[in-house]
Structure 1
Amino acid sequence: MTAPRLVALVDPAHRASRRAPMAWAVEAAIPWCVIAGAQLIWLAVGQRWLWMHGAAAGLTVLGAVISIGVVPRWRYRVHRWEVSAHAVYTRTGWLVQERRIAPISRVQTVDTYRGPLDRLFGLANVTVTTASSAGAVRIVALDSAVADDVAAWLTDIAASTTDEGT
C-alpha cells in the first residue's frame, strides 16, 4: 500500500485591502467613543471618587490605544486569502489565528457583503458557503472591485466543477 501524497500547505498569497486597517480602526473606535462619552457623563453627574474616574479614564485610553492603534495593524499582517481552481484559502485572526481551506467542489453559494463602514472605505467581504459544519469561509476587507471579481470567479469555478462534493 502506498502512502497518500502530501501537499505542503503554504500561506495564502493575497492581503486584505490597504484601506482595511483604517476601516478596522474606525470600527474599533466607535464603542470606545461611547465608553468615553459615558465616562464624561458619569464625571459630570458625580464628582465624588475622582481617583475612580481617573482609573477608568486610564483603562479606557489603554484599551482604545490597543484596539485602535495595534489590533488593526496586527490583523492586516495576519489576514490572507487565496482562490485557486481547487480551493478557497483564508487565514484570519490576530490573537487567535484560524486557517480555513474549502474545496471548490463543496462551494454552495458565494455572497458579497458591504456594510456602512465598508462602503465608506470602498471595501467588501466575500462569504463562501460550503457543505461544512464549520460554517462559511469569509474573505474580509477586499477592495469592492476585487470582491466582485472574486465572487464572479468563484461562481464560475464552482459552476464548472463536475465533482459532487456534497
Structure 2
Amino acid sequence: MSTEQLQKINRKGLTVWRIHSGLSTLFLVMGTIALFFILKKNEFNINYVWIGIGLVVLHLLLFVIIFPYIRWKRWGYEVREAEIEIQRGLFIVKRTLIPMARVQHVDTTQGPLLRMYGVADLTISTAATVHIIPAIALNEADELRRRISTLARMAKDDV
C-alpha cells in the first residue's frame, strides 16, 4: 500500500500527540507514587520501586516516543473530486474512502494544545460515521473544509 500520493498531516501533530501522551504518563507516575506510599505502610520492597520505574520508562518509550511516530508516519489523506481517502493506523493500517455525496457536514476543531501549535482537526461527518483528519495547519484546515463542502454540494446536485 503506497502512501506517496497521500498528503501527510502536519509534523506539529506528532508533537501534540507526544505532549498528550506525556501528560497521561504523568498521571501514571502520580498513581505509581501513590501506590508506593500505600505499600510503604505495609510490606515495602525496593523491587516494587524498580518495577514501577520500569513500567514508567516502558510507557514513555512506547506511548510518548515510538507509537506517536509510527501513527504520524502512517497518517495520510487526499481530497479528490468524488471522494476523500484517509489512511491511518498503528499496527493495522486502515484505508477509508468517503464518497463526496455522503458527506453531510465538515467541521474544524481546536483544543488548547492544537491551538498552541496552530493546527486543527478536520471532522467529516456522514450519515453512518464521523471521520477525523488530525493536525492540519489551521489555514489549510479552513481551506480544506470549504473545498470539501463545495465538492459535497456539487456531488449531491449530480445525484
Instruction: Please give the TM-score of this superposition, normalised by the length of structure 2.
Output: 0.88
Structure 2 residue aligned with 1:159, among 146, 153, 158? 153
How far apart are the structure 1 equivalents of 2:93 and 2:135? 17
Structure 1 residue aligned with 2:14, among 17, 21, 25? 21
Aligned-residue identity in percent: 22
Q: 1:114 maps to what in 2?
A: 110
**Paired letter, 2:31:** A
1:113-142 residue CA offsets vs partner (Å, 9 max, x unmatched): 1112111211111111123x3x12221111
> What's the CA shift for 1:13?
1.6
SS where residue 91 of structure 2 aligns?
Answer: coil
**Paired letter, 1:127:** T
Q: 2:35 maps to what in 1?
A: 42
Structure holding more helix per residue: 2
How far apart are the structure 2 equivalents of 1:137 and 1:61? 33
The answer to whether the aligner puts 1:137 opposite 2:119 as a matched pair is no
SS where residue 11 of structure 2 aligns?
Answer: coil
How far apart are the structure 1 equivalents of 2:59 and 2:34? 19
SS where residue 158 of structure 2 aligns?
Answer: coil
Contact persistence 1:100–1:137 (CA under 8 A): no
SS where residue 15 of structure 1 aligns?
Answer: coil
Q: 2:89 maps to what in 1?
A: 93
How far apart are the structure 1 equivalents of 2:142 and 2:73? 23
Contact persistence 2:101–2:153 (CA under 8 A): no
Q: 2:60 maps to what in 1?
A: 64
Q: Which moved more, 1:26-35 or 1:40-49?
A: 40-49
The answer to whether the aligner puts 1:73 opposite 2:66 as a matched pair is no
**Paired letter, 2:47:** W
Alignment CA distance shift 1:45-1:137 (3 Å) = closer
> What's the CA shift for 1:97?
2.0
Residues 117-128 of structure 1 mapped to structure 2, 5 A cutoff: 117-128=113-124
> What's the CA shift for 1:10?
5.9
- Where do 4+ consecutive residues of structure 1 move more than 6 Å? none
**Paired letter, 1:38:** G
How far apart are the structure 2 equivalents of 1:114 and 1:77? 22
How far apart are the structure 2 equivalents of 1:108 and 1:10? 29
RMSD: 1.7
How far apart are the structure 2 equivalents of 1:99 and 1:56? 38
